[in-house]
């Protein structure tokens, strides 16, 4: 379906009826002038070289050229759907350990931060590959499915913290299962997993799952982060050194043996984290050794623009009008001068608008080049200039929002996305702007607003699975925040109530405390009573030990 990119220029078509009225007025004025001159035969003799039909043709050409010029400025276009893009690459699932043991600082500033730094640089090394992210601790979650949108991958990576997984531990086997489920099971090549962990827990299922995945053509590479001698953990909730159930400081150690075994069984490479750039280069080399397959996939919506054809038609009609004379015989020089004046006037009216549009497109192109080079300041400057020239240019506003987001100017990015939403005429364009706005709001912890943005994106494009996934995640985060708030409110009230209750009980106890009475028990009776109490306590301790030994459930570690 044809739609106009700049619909505001269509208001200029309101001048067409005025041009027709002016033409009719001129014709009537000519007839009245002929009548006023006098002798009809004499007048006809004087104007015998004049051609009314040619005069009408000239008017028709000028009017049609004007209409074509206005339509060219509005730029009618047809969406051609998704374009098919060919790329060569592999599918890489990144499994990141986000358990609390990853907060240990034996690798500065801590294990998790350096792991995220490694993943970010690795993503930059894989421009043509599809990337997916799984986070795990006591359970594994698919943080992001396989996608070529590496910017989104980095945004999800920045939010990978121990808070996203409520159950603590290190279930490597579950993480590998989740990674395998994200792959296309019909293929047995060009699939790899990069596992980053301290491997602290010995997961017995991991070895079995690794061998099964290797049989299906999945290469599993591991990166061990931490130190074999280990270190203590600072609990983020208390700011103190974390202790176990018996009050002893927890020491978390790197389990190199397990990670090396997983890499060996998975036909992959194990690396001990030392230097970020070195292990990134080694991992990139390892992944490239797998070879790459050619993949054809859908890209963004493409448009077929008609403004060049309309602009060419407008110029052709003006040139044609230039060579048509309205009289049968006339002075050639005079006619040439008139035509030149008409052509110059038309050029003055049309060409600035055309150059204006070209200038905006040039600015957007320059911004795209800078954006691809990660020069986001320069990109934002070009997009802003284009948006200032054409506030209704959806592409300029949308790209400006992306560049501002990359710079960290989230508030300004939101304004740009709002402008893009207002300027968009296609639902897919509006949905994309709503989605990016939701991502920006979610990273700024504005959950109610980001939930509304994702809902709008899904409403406009029900097939947007990324928006649906992010909406579910935002709703879970909102629910968790509300639970934490309710618990905090409850904790604030509870100490005060308990304190008052304890104080009242103590006062009652003091008031009711009897006065000391002289003991009526002999020394021998007291010794026998004490011996009986000691024996009773000993029996109780033995009973508790037997119950503890027979208990099938042991307390789970929470780091």
Report the distance separating Cα 369 and Cα 367, nearest Å: 5
| Pairing relationship of beta strands 76-89 and 293-305 according to DSSP bridges | antiparallel
Residue 306: the pLDDT is 85
Q: What's the alpha-carbon Rg for the chain, to the nearest Å?
A: 39
- Residue 519 has a pLDDT of 47
Residue 136 β-bridge partners: 97, 140
**Under CATH, which number does the domain 91-291 receive?**
3.40.50.410
* 96 in Cβ contact with 133 (< 8 Å): yes
Instruction: Give residues with Cβ within 8 angstroms of 549, minimum separation 6.
Output: none
Strands in 3-4's sheet, in edge-to-edge order, are 3-4, 76-89, 293-305
Joined tokens for residue 401: 């929002």
Name, in order, each residue with C-beta under 8 angstroms of 116's C-beta and a sequence gap of 6 or more: 96, 157, 158, 160
Distance CA 78, CA 553 (A): 65
| pLDDT recorded at residue 515 | 46
**Encoding tokens for residue 218?**
């999945």
* pLDDT computed for residue 551 by the predictor: 34
CA pair distance 43, 31, nearest whole angstrom: 11
> Phi first, then psi: what are they for 136, rounded to 5°?
-150, 155
Place of tokens 């405390």: 513
The residue to which tokens 């307390």 are assigned? 555
Name the 3-class secondary structure at 132: strand
- Give me the residue spans of the domains in the chain: 91-291
Residues 198, 252: contact at Cβ < 8 Å? yes
Neighbours of 272 (CB within 10 A): 16
Q: What is the mean pLDDT of each run of 10 residues along the chain (559 residues)?
A: 81 92 88 72 71 85 92 83 61 92 88 93 90 91 86 85 81 91 81 91 80 92 92 79 81 90 93 92 90 56 76 91 73 46 49 51 84 86 86 85 86 88 84 88 86 88 81 83 79 58 55 47 63 63 46 44
Q: Roughly what angle, to the nearest 10 degrees, separates helices 204-215 and 256-265?
A: 20
Separation of alpha carbons 75 and 360, rounded Å: 14
What beta strand segments (E) does 208-334 contain? Answer: 218-224, 231-232, 251-252, 270-272, 293-305
CB distance 93 to 183 below 8 Å: yes
d(CA 95, CA 101): 16
Do strands 91-97 and 130-136 pair parallel, antiparallel, or not at all (unpaired)?
A: parallel
Per-residue pLDDT at 384: 87
pTM: 0.44
Give the tokens for residue 298: 């859908």
And the tokens for 542?
Answer: 């033995």
How far CA 297 is from CA of 294, 315, 422, 468, in Å, comes to 10, 40, 29, 21
| Alpha carbon distance 350, 96 (integer Å) | 58
3-state secondary structure of 326: coil
* DSSP of 382-398: HHHHHHHH-TT-HHHHH
d(CA 410, CA 405): 5
């Amino acid at each position: 379906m044809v739609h106009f990119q700049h619909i505001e220029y269509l208001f200029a078509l309101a001048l067409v009826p005025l041009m027709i009225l002016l033409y009719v007025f001129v014709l009537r004025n000519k007839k009245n002038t002929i009548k006023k001159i006098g002798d009809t035969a004499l007048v006809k003799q004087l104007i015998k070289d004049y051609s009314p039909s040619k005069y009408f043709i000239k008017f028709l050409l000028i009017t049609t050229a004007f209409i074509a010029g206005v339509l060219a400025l509005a730029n009618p276009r047809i969406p051609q759907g998704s374009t098919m893009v060919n790329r060569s690459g592999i599918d890489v699932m990144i499994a990141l350990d986000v358990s609390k043991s990853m907060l240990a600082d034996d690798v500065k500033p801590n294990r998790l931060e350096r792991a995220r730094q490694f993943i970010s640089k690795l993503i930059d090394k894989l421009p043509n590959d599809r990337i997916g992210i799984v986070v795990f601790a006591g359970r594994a979650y698919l943080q992001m499915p396989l996608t070529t949108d590496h910017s989104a991958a980095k945004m999800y990576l920045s939010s990978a913290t121990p808070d996203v997984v409520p159950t603590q531990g290190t279930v490597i086997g579950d993480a590998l299962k989740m990674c395998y489920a994200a792959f296309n099971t019909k293929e047995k090549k060009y699939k790899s997993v990069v596992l980053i962990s301290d491997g602290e827990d010995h997961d017995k299922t991991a070895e079995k799952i690794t061998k099964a995945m290797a049989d299906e053509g999945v290469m599993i590479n591991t990166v061990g982060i931490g130190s074999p001698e280990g270190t203590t953990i600072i609990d983020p909730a208390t700011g103190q050194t974390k202790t176990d159930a018996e009050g002893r400081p927890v020491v978390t150690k790197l389990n190199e043996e397990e990670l090396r075994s997983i890499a060996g069984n998975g036909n992959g490479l194990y690396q001990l984290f030392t230097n970020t750039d070195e292990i990134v280069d080694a991992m990139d080399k390892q992944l490239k050794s797998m070879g790459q397959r050619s993949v054809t996939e859908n890209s963004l919506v493409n448009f077929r623009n008609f403004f060049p054809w309309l602009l060419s038609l407008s110029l052709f009609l003006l040139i044609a009008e230039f060579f048509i004379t309205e009289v049968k015989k006339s002075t050639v020089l005079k006619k040439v001068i008139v035509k030149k004046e008409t052509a110059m006037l038309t050029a003055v009216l049309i060409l600035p608008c055309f150059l204006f549009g070209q200038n905006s497109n040039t600015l957007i192109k320059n911004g795209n080049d800078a954006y691809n080079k990660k020069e986001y300041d320069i990109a934002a400057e070009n997009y802003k200039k284009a948006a200032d020239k054409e506030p209704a240019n959806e592409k300029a506003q949308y790209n400006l929002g992306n560049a501002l987001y990359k710079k960290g100017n989230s508030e300004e990015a939101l304004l740009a996305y709002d402008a893009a939403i207002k300027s968009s005429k296609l639902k897919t364009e509006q949905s994309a702007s709503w989605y990016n706005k939701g991502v920006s709001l979610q990273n700024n912890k504005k959950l109610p607003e980001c939930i509304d943005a994702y809902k709008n994106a899904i409403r406009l494009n029900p097939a947007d699975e990324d928006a649906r996934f992010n909406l579910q995640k935002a709703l879970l985060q909102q629910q968790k925040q509300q639970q934490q708030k309710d618990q905090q409110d409850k904790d604030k009230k509870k100490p005060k109530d308990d304190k008052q209750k304890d104080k009242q009980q103590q006062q009652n106890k003091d008031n009711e405390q009897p006065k000391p009475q002289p003991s009526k028990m002999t020394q021998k009776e007291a010794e026998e009573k004490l011996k009986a109490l000691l024996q009773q306590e000993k029996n109780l301790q033995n009973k508790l030990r037997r119950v503890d030994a027979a208990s099938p459930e042991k307390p789970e570690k929470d780091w």
